[in-house]
């Protein structure tokens, strides 16, 4: 039955009256608020409802809210205060570690650059005890920083979505610092001060003993460093707190070098003792490469020396230059791939072309066999370094003097070998004699320094820097040692296998020394993923800063005898780009004009080569367009060490859609 308007209004008014009575009886009233009823309901009067307030039984809720607010404020204050103190502790630990590095890398040795003698600086006599005290201080500061950023407040704050990202980053950073000072650095402190405490002039013998005794500890420390680096890499970045981002970025940058150094130390602990004659004499063929004329492994092979290692003592025997081995014909088979790519250049019979490939073991095998063909004697390994590496070592070992009394220092050695020597000595024979003399004197100086426990830590630090710059390479005829060497950059191996890769290699074809003035720039720009793969654009810019006049003929030599006109200072290069395995070239242009490239394969990498004339005071740009296999990381970049380092720009890497 339908209800009329008056009946509906009466029923609604009755219900509102009962609701008002209930509220009046259950809630204490304050100022009543008028309740305006809809005007279209006839017969309804205005009703007034009291303002509800929390009853006494809701008191615990109010208390809980109040306590929560107080706890939040206390937690925020606690995080702020402990964060401030944790930062101070991390800075103190960083200062201790810098002091530790300073104390164990020869900084406590004063050099007399006139006499070439060394003396221990004041306070450096007890390097081992000082190192351990400094290490203990750093560990104490790092531990306190870690403890300050643990606990409920920091844990809960780090778990808040988005807001907690910087707190998570800080917690991870302090944990990493604590782990480094307790699990990583002590392994090195056990080695270096053992050398510093040596008072019997045992030099490398003390180093070998320390490495051999601590090999397992160094290996564990290398694993801890790698694990710590991986943990830091997973920490949040680009948070709302710049200070946390800066802390994380600085730690990540430092860990890159630490992990690499520890991995080098781990390999060194296993290969250095036998290679340096711990189990019997070893002989090495040492080649000095001149980077003023580019080759795949760095520079053209110039002077060489024979070095014998016997229980940590090094003795330098035969010294010579490229002329001594010009007629050597080594019998070495490096495989069909090598022959196909480099065979026309006669790398096994033309000394200047022995290291066209960036894969160092190829050159090392040729050099070892060339010496055997020349002398009838075998060597146990090959070492290569360039004038920049030799300068680093000479800075640690102290200055020497040439036969004519000229001072040979870290500051003038590279310049003499790669630039000024060509102007000072017009006669090629005289110039080679001077370069040979410089290598000879620097090597003898280095040989004396490594037997001096006061200088040895600085020499080791110089070796580390040379390795980091890819300016020193080592190859061994012993298979177990060579397998370990190939795992590190000092092995000079061209990596094979899957994954993004970018390698620029230039070989000089003129016979001159104009690569002293060469600048190289590589820009790698990936596109978005497609069903066919990922498009990549590679721009290679080469700049020849050579002056158009005033250079000696030996520098501007054009042994290639081009059919087109050139000026003194014009250069010519074979430019090779090593792409990712499975990549395909879709286009190539030189200065915007399409250009043909040769295509070959080396160690699984497609290699695209262009013969490029590079006039003085000009820049030329080679642009390659590639389709590469899909990948989710930036490419590994091949480093060819020349006078000026390669400038590399890797553009942002777009992720592939799932």
- Of 113-127, 319-333, 365-379, the poorest mean pLDDT is in 113-127
The residue assigned the tokens 């790519």 is 341
SS3 at position 320: strand
The residue with greater pLDDT, 533 or 319, is 533
The pLDDT value recorded for residue 107 is 42
- What pLDDT band is residue 474 in, cutting at 50, 70 and 90? very high
Q: Each residue of 611-621: pLDDT tens digit?
A: 999 999 999 99
Residue-level pLDDT at 64: 73
pLDDT value at 449 more than 80: yes
3-state secondary structure of 245: helix
Q: Cβ contacts of residue 493 below 8 Å, gap of 6+?
A: 359, 360, 361, 486
Q: Work out the pLDDT band at 223, boundaries 50, 70, 90.
A: very high
- Residue 650 pLDDT level (bands cut at 50, 70, 90): very high
Sole residue written with tokens 């066209």: 356
- Please say whether the beta carbons of 255 and 225 come within 8 A: yes
Residue 511's pLDDT is 95
In 3D space, the residue among 628, 527, 651, 539 whose CA is nearest the CA of residue 580 turns out to be 628
> Residues 36-52: pLDDT tens digits?
434 444 443 444 545 45
Under 8 Å between Cβ of 583 and 626: yes
- In the predicted model, is pLDDT for residue 487 greater than 70? yes
* d(C-alpha 520, C-alpha 506), whole Å: 10
| pLDDT recorded at residue 390 | 94
pLDDT of 577 reads 98
The side-by-side arrangement of strands in the sheet containing 501-508 is 598-602, 605-614, 571-578, 501-508, 636-638
pLDDT of residue 203: 60
Q: How many CB atoms lie within 10 A of CB 320?
A: 16
∠ CA 602-287-402, nearest 5°, is 150
Q: Supply the pTM of this predicted model.
A: 0.82
Residue 356: closest CA among 382, 334, 372, 371: 334
Give the pairing of strands 605-614 and 618-628. unpaired
Across the range 235-242, mean pLDDT stands at: 91
Question: What letter would DSSP give residue 2?
Answer: P
Q: Is the pLDDT of residue 608 over 60?
A: yes
Cα-flanking dihedrals φ and ψ of residue 407, to 5°?
Answer: -65, 135
Tokens for 230?
């991986």
pLDDT average, residue stretch 381-393: 95
Tell me which of 189-193, 215-219, 438-442 is least confident.
189-193
Using one digit for the tens of pLDDT, what is the confidence trace for 399-422?
Answer: 999 988 989 999 999 999 999 999
User: Using a CB cutoff of 8 Å and minimum separation of 24, what contacts does 255-261 make?
Assistant: 255/176, 255/180, 255/225, 255/228, 255/229, 256/229, 257/468, 258/180, 258/184, 258/225, 258/229, 259/222, 259/225, 259/226, 259/228, 259/229, 260/468, 260/489, 261/464
- pLDDT reported for residue 53: 52
Does an H or E element contain 400, and which?
Answer: strand 400-401
pLDDT in tens, 368-380: 999 999 999 999 9
Nearest C-alpha neighbor of 342 from the set 609, 559, 69, 655: 609
Q: pLDDT tens, 133-176?
A: 889 999 999 999 999 999 888 999 999 998 999 999 999 999 99
Q: pLDDT tens digit string along 63-106?
A: 777 767 777 787 788 899 998 899 999 999 989 888 877 766 54
454 close to 109: Cβ distance less than 8 angstroms: yes
């Amino acid at each position: 039955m339908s209800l009329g308007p008056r009946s509906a209004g009466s029923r609604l008014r009755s219900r509102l009256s009962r609701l008002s009575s209930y509220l009046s009886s259950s809630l204490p009233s304050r100022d009543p608020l008028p309740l305006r009823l809809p005007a279209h309901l006839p017969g309804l009067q205005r009703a007034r409802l009291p303002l509800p307030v929390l009853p006494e039984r809701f008191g615990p809720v109010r208390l809980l809210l109040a306590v929560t607010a107080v706890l939040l404020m206390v937690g925020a204050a606690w995080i702020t205060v402990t964060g401030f103190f944790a930062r101070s502790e991390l800075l103190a630990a960083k200062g201790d570690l810098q002091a530790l590095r300073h104390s164990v890398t020869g900084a406590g040795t004063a050099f007399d650059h006139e006499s070439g003698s060394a003396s221990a600086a004041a306070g450096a006599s007890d390097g081992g005890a000082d190192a351990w005290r400094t290490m203990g201080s750093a560990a104490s500061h790092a531990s306190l920083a870690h403890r300050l950023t643990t606990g409920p407040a920091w844990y809960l704050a780090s778990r808040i979505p988005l807001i907690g990202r910087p707190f998570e980053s800080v917690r991870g950073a302090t944990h990493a610092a604590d782990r480094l000072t307790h699990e990583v650095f002590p392994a090195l402190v056990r080695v270096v001060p053992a050398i510093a405490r040596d008072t019997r002039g045992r030099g490398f013998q003390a180093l070998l003993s320390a490495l051999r005794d601590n090999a397992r500890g160094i290996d564990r420390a290398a694993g801890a460093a790698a694990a710590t680096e991986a943990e830091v890499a997973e920490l949040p970045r680009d948070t709302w707190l710049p200070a946390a981002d800066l802390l994380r970025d600085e730690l990540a940058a430092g860990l890159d070098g630490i992990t690499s150094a520890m991995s080098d130390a781990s390999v060194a602990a296993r290969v250095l003792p036998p290679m340096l004659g711990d189990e019997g004499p070893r002989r090495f063929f040492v080649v000095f490469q001149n980077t003023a004329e580019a080759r795949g492994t760095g520079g053209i092979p110039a002077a060489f020396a024979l070095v014998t290692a016997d229980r940590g003592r090094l003795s330098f025997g035969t010294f010579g230059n490229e002329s001594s081995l010009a007629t050597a014909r080594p019998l070495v088979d490096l495989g069909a791939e090598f022959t196909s790519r480099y065979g026309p250049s006669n790398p096994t019979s033309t000394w200047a072309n022995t290291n066209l490939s960036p894969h160092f073991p190829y050159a090392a095998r040729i050099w070892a066999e060339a010496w055997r063909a020349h002398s009838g004697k075998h060597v146990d390994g090959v070492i290569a370094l360039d004038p920049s590496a030799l300068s680093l070592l000479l800075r640690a070992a102290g200055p020497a003097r040439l036969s004519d009394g000229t001072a040979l220092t870290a500051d003038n050695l590279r310049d003499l070998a790669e630039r000024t020597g060509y102007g000072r000595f017009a006669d090629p024979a005289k110039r080679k004699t001077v370069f040979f003399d410089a290598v000879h004197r620097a090597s003898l100086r280095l040989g004396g320094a490594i037997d001096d426990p006061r200088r040895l830590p600085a020499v080791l630090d110089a070796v580390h820097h040379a390795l980091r710059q890819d300016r020193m390479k080592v190859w061994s005829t012993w298979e177990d040692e060579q397998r370990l060497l190939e795992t590190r950059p000092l092995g000079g191996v061209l990596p094979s296998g899957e994954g993004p890769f970018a390698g620029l290699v230039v070989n000089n074809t003129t016979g001159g020394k104009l690569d002293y003035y060469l600048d190289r720039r590589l820009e790698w720009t990936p596109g978005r993923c497609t069903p066919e793969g990922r498009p990549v654009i590679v721009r290679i810019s080469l700049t020849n800063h050579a002056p158009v006049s005033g250079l000696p003929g030996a520098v501007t030599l054009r042994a290639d005898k081009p059919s087109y006109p050139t000026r003194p200072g014009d250069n010519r290069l074979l430019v090779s780009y090593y792409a990712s395995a499975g990549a395909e070239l879709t286009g190539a242009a030189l200065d915007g004009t399409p250009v043909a490239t040769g295509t070959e394969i080396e160690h699984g990498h497609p290699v695209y080569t262009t013969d490029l004339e590079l006039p003085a005071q000009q820049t030329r740009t080679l642009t390659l367009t590639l389709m590469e296999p899909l990948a989710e990381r930036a490419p590994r970049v091949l480093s060819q060490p020349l006078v000026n380092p390669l400038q590399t720009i890797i553009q942002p890497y777009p992720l592939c859609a799932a």
